[in-house]
Structure 1
Amino acid sequence: MFLKAFREKSNKKYLNKLLSQRNVNVGNNKIKSLGVILNFDEIEDFNAFNVLASRLKIHANNIKVIAYTTNLKSHGNSWDACFNTKDFGWNGDIKNVELQGFLNEPFDALISYYTKEHLELKLLTALSKSQFKIGILQSDARLNDIIIKTEINEIDVFSDEVVKYLTVLNKI
């Protein structure tokens, strides 16, 4: 318990360091690949992101979704790419090979679809090598390039807004 608090503090410090060093480099590149980070405890509709990818003209092979949950046992094997707090070490160290592979992939766009304040979700968003980050309104605006203020259950509104803004930015 005591070490858990120290680990969380070291991860918070590492997150602040990452966000302060972040360079926003939004180019005119079209979006061809999409990564999605979501909180499984808040939303379980993974198919909505496949629909969004098709609206963005992204091939099904170029979308990857990972989900965070506080309790892996309660969700069982309902989703393959599920992770939790135990997959993180000190100073933002990732212990899960599949999760590290997701972070190393240079997606053209990353969607961070969560509203609850979990340090692990923020770390994933910050550690991602994605070129363009899109998210729901959160306490730290440094995480995403585009922030869309919607409720977590309004995925259709979120999708419409993403398509609208990416069209204006000439990304699709």
Structure 2
Amino acid sequence: MILQGFKEKSNKKYLNKLLSKREIEINDNKVESLGVIVNIDEFDDLDKFVNFSEALNIRSNRLKIITFTENEKEQVLSWDSCFNPSDFGWKGAVKNVELSGFLNKNFDLLISFYEKDITEIKLITALSQSKFKIGVFQPDERLNDLIIKTSTKEINLFKDEVVKYLTILNKI
């Protein structure tokens, strides 16, 4: 139990280090690939993101969705890429090969669709090599380039706002 607390503190310190060094890259490239991070404990209708990608004119082979759950014993059978806190080690080290592959992929757009303040899921967002990051409102505003102040229950409003802002930014 004490080691869990030390591990959590180590990961938070690493997250703060990552976010303080983050450089925002501004470009006007069109969005052609999409990565989505979802907390499956908050939102479980992942088919909505397939429709979301179609609204952004992104082909299905350029879409990758990963899910996160706090419950290490729960296996989400409806989706193949589900991660939990046990996939992380000390100082933000990622123990899962599939998760490392997601993090190293250069998505044009990353959507962070979660509200809970969980260090491990925030690490996934911070470690991602994506060029542009959009998320729902988070206490730490350094995670995303664009924040849409909605809840995870308002997926249609979130989608409409993302499409609107990406059109304004000439990304779609």
TM-score normalised by the chain length of structure 2: 0.98
SS at match of 1:131: coil
**Match of residue 25 from structure 1:** 25
Taking the aligned partners of 2:89 and 2:76, their CA distance within structure 1 comes to: 23
Q: Residues 138-153 of structure 1: matches in 2 within 5 Å?
A: 138-153=138-153
**Match of residue 78 from structure 1:** 78
Whether the aligned pair in 1 keeps the contact of 2:72 and 2:85 (CA below 8 Å) is: no
* CA offsets 1:94-116 (integer angstroms, 9 cap, x no match): 00000000000000000000001
* CA offsets 1:85-133 (integer angstroms, 9 cap, x no match): 0000001100000000000000000000000111011100000000000
* Runs of 4+, deviation exceeding 3 Å: 72-76
Identity in percent: 59
Taking the aligned partners of 2:115 and 2:144, their CA distance within structure 1 comes to: 13
SS at match of 1:37: strand
Taking the aligned partners of 1:40 and 1:115, their CA distance within structure 2 comes to: 11
* CA offsets 1:20-67 (integer angstroms, 9 cap, x no match): 000011200000000000100000011111111001000000000000
Structure 2: which amino acid aligns with 1:102? F
Whether the aligned pair in 2 keeps the contact of 1:72 and 1:82 (CA below 8 Å) is: no
TM-score normalised by the chain length of structure 1: 0.98
Structure 2: which amino acid aligns with 1:130? S
Gaps of 5+ in 2: none
SS at match of 1:141: coil
Taking the aligned partners of 1:64 and 1:72, their CA distance within structure 2 comes to: 22
Structure 2: which amino acid aligns with 1:31? V
